[in-house]
Amino acid sequence: MKRREFVRTAALGSSAGLVLSSCAPQGGEGPAIQTESPSLRWRLVSSFSRGLDTIFGAAEVLAEHVGHLTQGRFNIQVYPAGELVPAFEVLESVQKGTAQMGHTASYYYVGKNPALAFDTTVPFGLTARQFNSWVYHGGGLELLRALFADFNIMNFPGGNTGVQMGGWFNREVGSVGDLRGLSMRIPGIGGRVMDRLGVTVQQIPGGEIYPALERGVIDAAEWVGPYDDEKLGFAQVAQYYYYPGWWEPGANLSFYINRDAWDGLSAHYQHALELAAAAANQYMLSRYDAVNPAAFRRLVEGGTEVRAFPQDVMQAAQVQAEELLQEGTDDPVYAQVYDSCMRWREESSAWFATSEYAYTAYLHDL
């Protein structure tokens, strides 16, 4: 796609807020002079429903901040999954410019490029803090943006779930052998790992998990964590709640912006979007960190039995996960992202085990 011409008259100075830009209007009829603060209405399509208020809410936080930072002139309307486009077509929609923006999880699109998984999370990958340090300060964002350039998309981190739970089980998992023959709802690479460990993997949408567990169609299911899982009522139809969700140690969501739409923005509006995305990123993780503890307590008080995955399950899963992740490294671009991410994990885990983890474990054991 041909990029629109974009000329910024920097001589006027960005601090004055009077930068003029020359760019073609949306219809492409020809060049037009715009001030830095034109009235804009954008559509943002989300992959999530309003019911997932913490995740969906991050996009609303972004829209609200952009409005405030532009005196209400840059208006972003957020559409839940299915209203304008289906949940898993957000990338295509932003790529084509049907919507100027999207909020989604890039691992939905690994069929287009397996390396996109690293923009969300991979089994035994980075925690939320490790991911944020990698993208903002460790070269991760530049590598991920190189992937998105192929889709005519500009991307920003847009929220994180933190370490997810391992999910709900109706049978105890005492060792890796107990996974054999277990029927579990688990998507993505985590599902492929479980398949290798003998699990019968089922792909079931969120809304259908409860009846499937209730009727015994499946023995186990993973979703997100205490706050979201409690709302879906899984505690009523499954006894054991396992941890940790090693397949999603910090699921990052992303804001996608159509590259032509981004290039057509003034420096002021671009900066407003970048700041608002960072605020939304912070909002979602801190919101989960605020609502998960109470939900977790309520589940335990309600009789849910919390169990750690046995060490041999963790180790067998990690061996299979690393094998699967290495399969992509024949591709040099994938290999670059993989190496950068895994090097970051190794170095920062040595530090976090000494700082955050050691301190939290001490407090918890008091």
Is 247 in contact with 189 (CB distance < 8 Å)? yes
Residues 166-205, mask of contacts with Ca ion (x by CB under 5 A): ----------------------------------------
**Binding flags for Ca ion, 111-150, as an x/- string (CB under 5 A):** ----------------------------------------
Nearer to Ca ion, 55 or 342 (CB): 55
188-196 helix and 311-326 helix, angle to the nearest 10 degrees? 110
Closest CA to 237 of 212, 272, 264: 212
Q: In what order do the strands lie in the sheet with 74-79?
A: 74-79, 40-46, 101-104, 252-258, 153-160
Q: Could you please report the per-residue DSSP string of 106-154?
A: GGGGTTT-GGGGGGT--TT---HHHHHHHHHHSSHHHHHHHHHHTTTEE
Tell the smallest beta-carbon distance from residue 216 to Ca ion (Å). Answer: 22
Instruction: Please say which residue, 248 or 260, places its beta carbon nearer to Ca ion.
Output: 248
> Nearer to Ca ion by C-beta: 225 or 264?
225
Nearer Cβ to Ca ion (185/259): 185
Q: Work out how close the CB of 265 gets to Ca ion at its nearest, in angstroms, rounded to a whole number.
A: 34
* Cα dihedral sign, 52-54-56-60: positive
338 vs 249: CA distance, rounded Å: 16
x/- mask, Ca ion, residues 150-169, rule CB under 5 A, reads --------------x-----
Minimum distance of Ca ion from residue 6's CB (angstroms): 39
Q: How far is CA 130 from CA 80, 127, 319, 333, in A?
A: 29, 5, 21, 21
Q: Which two tokens stand for residue 313?
A: 């399950």
Question: Within positions 236 to 275, which residues make up the interface with Ca ion, using CB under 5 A?
Answer: 248
CB-nearer residue toward Ca ion: 74 or 288: 288
Residue 319 in 3-state DSSP?
Answer: helix
Q: Which CB atom, from 138 or from 167, has the smaller least distance to Ca ion?
A: 167
Burial of 234 (0-12, 13-18, 19+ CB in 10 A): buried
From the CB of 121, what's the least distance to Ca ion, in Å? Answer: 9
CB 352 within 8 A of CB 129: yes
Smallest distance from Ca ion to CB 140, Å:
21
Q: Which of 134, 271, 255, 123 is nearest to 192 (CA)?
A: 123
Which secondary-structure segment (H or E) carries 158?
Answer: strand 153-160
Residue with smaller CB distance to Ca ion, 121 or 320? 121
Nearer to Ca ion (CB atom), residue 166 or residue 264: 166
In the complex with Ca ion, the residue whose CB is nearer, 188 or 328, is 188
CB of 221 to Ca ion, least distance (A): 10
> What minimum distance in Å lies between the beta carbon of 97 and Ca ion?
30
The mark string for 21-40 relative to Ca ion (x by CB under 5 A, - otherwise) is --------------------
Q: Is 143 left (phi over 0), alpha (psi -120 to 50) or beta?
A: alpha
Taking the CB of residue 13, how many other CB atoms lie within 10 A of it?
10
- Number of chain residues interacting with Ca ion (CB under 5 A): 2
The CB-of-167 to Ca ion minimum distance in angstroms stands at 8
Cβ at position 161, least distance to Ca ion in Å: 8
Query: Which positions lie near Ca ion, rule CB under 5 A?
Result: 164, 248
